[in-house]
Amino acid sequence: MKRTRQERVRIGIFWAIIAFSMCLFAARLIHLQVFCSSEYSEVVTRQSSRKIDIPATRGVICDRNGMIVANNIVKPTLYAWPANTREVQDIARYLDKLYGYFPGTAKERFNLRPRSFSYIDRHMSDALAHRVENDAPRGLYLRDDAHRTYPYGQVGRQILGFTDIDNNGQSGLELSFDSVLAGRNGIADVYRDGLKNVFRVREKAMVPPQPGQSLVLACDWRLQEIVEQELCSAVREYNAEMGMAAFVDCNSGEVLALAHFDPEEAHPDKPFKLRAISDQFEPGSVFKPITAAGILDAGLVDFDDSIYCESGRWKIGRRTLRDDKKRDSLTFRQIMELSSNIGLAKCAIELGGEQLYQTAEKFGLGRQTGIELPGECAGSIGRPNRWSEYTTAALAMGHAVAVNSLHLAMAFAAVANGGELLQPRLILGGLDQNRRLVQERERRVVGRIMDHATADTLRAMLRGVVEHGTAVPVNSRVIAIAGKTGTAQMIDFENKRYFQHKFMASFAGLFPAGKPLVAGVVVLQNPQPVHYGGYTSGPTFKRIAERYSLLDPGRFIGTDRILAESDDSAPRPIEVPDFVGHSVDWARVQAEDAGIDVRSATDSGFVAWQFPPAGGLMFPGDEIVLATTNLEKADLHMVDLTGLSLRQAAAFMHFAGVTFHARGNGHVVDQSLRPGKEISTRSFCQLQLRRM
């Protein structure tokens, strides 16, 4: 049927309207999708999700042996973020039921408010988290949080420090390396539908967090544990108020252990300071090797120069300097071994106060060591406007100077390694994702503070202190120890004077004495009733050295060997026979049966002295040096010292009464007195040493 013109017009208008409407719809759709997409996407995202930070996993911390000493445990955390009052009410009722609270308790306990973030349960159990995930009302969310944990409990916590509940470092390494360990937070999305119904309780990471850098410490956690145990025992055994200790690697400056023990410490699991670096004290006689280094380096005395010690009482101006015992003349070696105040003061006065002050500065005293821990004190060195004889003598004996334990450990490490003051190194480097050491930190030498010969002489003196000086109780049958005792009056800061009956007892030393590997110091505050360092701190140092040596016999076996009771494969030590008074022939037969070697000047006569002494420990193949005599002439003969250490050679010289002088460093390669030559107390021998 043919449409009329009017009908065709109407149909055209109708289709035109439809086409126009479609064009409008298309234009609007293009406008929304293209030109307004970002705006409306933001609206949709705002209505359907919420963004929140995801904490990064903190880097782990390992000791030098790869033992993880600070780690993380991932635990679920529940938090509330209600959008309105209705969600607040639903959450409050749910939490009251979940935790068994009285109605209305949860709302006040967790401070629930609309559009306000509130933690509900940090590090909750997995079972409870699964229950919440299945039936949580709108506004409750779960996330995985890393919780800091310390596998070895309180061991080393003074070094590590601790973190708060948000994993922010609060003290120790956790604080000083917080930016390195913390990493970078990620961003999470919590999704809901248009009616704000949650359809994902768990967060979804939009931007994954970047974990923190893991660190490797120079510390040996085995030694750290030993030090802490022995400090605790010493404080209790000697009735001390507190104990501190520091041990370092002599040759690298790596810090092996730092600790203090204070029975009055309120929260040992959350230490805010490490007293081994934060507390300063007057060192007393343990400072004397520093004085001796300045004197020897200046060439003012030789090893066996004799000095008059005024029978134990010497008046300097209006002051009187005293020794513990009345002694007339002592060699410089004996002055150090017996800790004579008067003898050392006389030498120090000849050196001069200003030179002595500069020596103390060379040893790093009066400034921070630069260890990577917060709270280190710098200490101080007294410097009067005018140096009098008494102020010089006082500084020489360790008065008017303040140090921390690490200062002394680094100073004795310099004596041990031949005269180099090292920067203490607490961090060896970082770990990459494959647990390989990266960004390794290098050994840093602060400066050379004494000649090699001076350091060698000092080590021999320090060994003498332990063998027959003020630290005889420190002498060990397990490992050779060298060191110096100190007993200093504590300062009464309130009344600006010294306490009369309060003392800081200390022992600073190194081991093994022949080729030192470890230097350290033990300090006890006010031990009672015995307050001498040689009878309190010294034996504590000895126990630490012995226990640590037995842990690693392969490292310490050498010129000075140790008893490896825990290692069946290690050479079995034998007790040193007593050859003194027997014929040389008999001694050789007994030594051969025991599997050890002997060295003597002659093949006849009788043994007058031996080194090592009887009763000690040695290994098959080791050598005993014998001094022989003829009973008819009562003379001594020079021993071939070639290949012996300075300590071994010095032991023979001291017995024979021979004056000697050593040049170089290491072991004896030449001697001016030929082997077999008759010697007396008037003899002199020049020793040439070289590193083997």
How high is the pLDDT of residue 202?
A: 55
- Give the least confident one: 163-172, 179-188, 391-400: 179-188
| Confidence band of 567 (pLDDT split at 50, 70, 90) | very low
Residues 6 or more apart whose CB falls under 8 angstroms from that of 197 comprise 138
Location of each CATH 3.40.710.10 domain in the chain: 221-556
Residues 6 or more apart whose CB falls under 8 angstroms from that of 540 comprise 230, 231, 233, 234, 243, 245, 507, 522, 524
Q: Which amino acid is at 637?
A: H
Give the pLDDT confidence of 181-215 residue by residue, as tens digits: 888 877 766 555 444 444 445 555 667 778 888 99
Pairing label, strands 319-322, 518-525: unpaired
| Confidence band of 570 (pLDDT split at 50, 70, 90) | very low
CATH 3.90.1580.10 fits 51-217, yes or no: no
d(C-alpha 462, C-alpha 486), whole Å:
13
d(C-alpha 623, C-alpha 598), whole Å:
5
In three-state secondary structure terms, 53 is strand
Instruction: Answer yes or no: is pLDDT of 513 > 60.
Output: yes
Location of each CATH 3.30.10.20 domain in the chain: 574-690
Instruction: Answer yes or no: is pLDDT of 332 > 70.
Output: yes
What the block records as the tokens of 383 is 């410097």
In terms of CATH architecture, what is 221-556? 3-Layer(aba) Sandwich (3.40)
- Give the least confident one: 248-252, 274-278, 480-484, 621-625: 621-625
- Reduced DSSP (H G I as helix, E B as strand, rest coil) percent helix, strand, coil of the chain, to 5: 35, 25, 40
Mean of pLDDT values over 78-93: 85
Instruction: Answer yes or no: is pLDDT of 225 > 80.
Output: yes
- Domain covering 574-690 in this structure, CATH number: 3.30.10.20
275-309 CB burial, b ≥16 within 10 A, e <16: bbbbbbbbbbbbbbbbbbbbbbbbebbebbeebeb
- Percentage of residues in the chain having pLDDT higher than 70: 87
More confident residue, 253 or 602: 253
| Confidence band of 566 (pLDDT split at 50, 70, 90) | very low
Nearest-10 crossing angle of helices 288-297, 389-396: 110
How high is the pLDDT of residue 255?
A: 96
Location of each CATH 3.90.1310.10 domain in the chain: 51-217
Mean of pLDDT values over 508-526: 94
d(C-alpha 316, C-alpha 342), whole Å:
10
Give the pLDDT confidence of 15-61 residue by residue, as tens digits: 888 888 888 887 777 777 777 766 666 655 555 555 667 778 889 99
Give the highest mean pLDDT range of 25-34, 484-493, 562-571. Answer: 484-493
| Confidence band of 561 (pLDDT split at 50, 70, 90) | very low
- Least Cα distance to 121 among 103, 133, 113 occurs for 133
Give the pLDDT confidence of 609-644 residue by residue, as tens digits: 887 777 665 667 778 888 887 766 667 788 888 888
- Percentage of residues in the chain having pLDDT higher than 90: 33
How high is the pLDDT of residue 568?
A: 42
**What average pLDDT is seen over the chain?**
83
Q: Which residues pair with 686 in a beta bridge?
A: 661
How high is the pLDDT of residue 260?
A: 94
Give the pLDDT confidence of 280-328 residue by residue, as tens digits: 999 999 999 999 999 999 989 887 888 888 888 888 878 888 888 888 8
- Least Cα distance to 50 among 140, 185, 181 occurs for 140
Give the pLDDT confidence of 643-682 residue by residue, as tens digits: 886 557 767 876 777 766 666 555 788 888 888 888 887 7
C-alpha distance from residue 1 to each of 4, 57, 184, 309 (Å): 9, 82, 79, 145
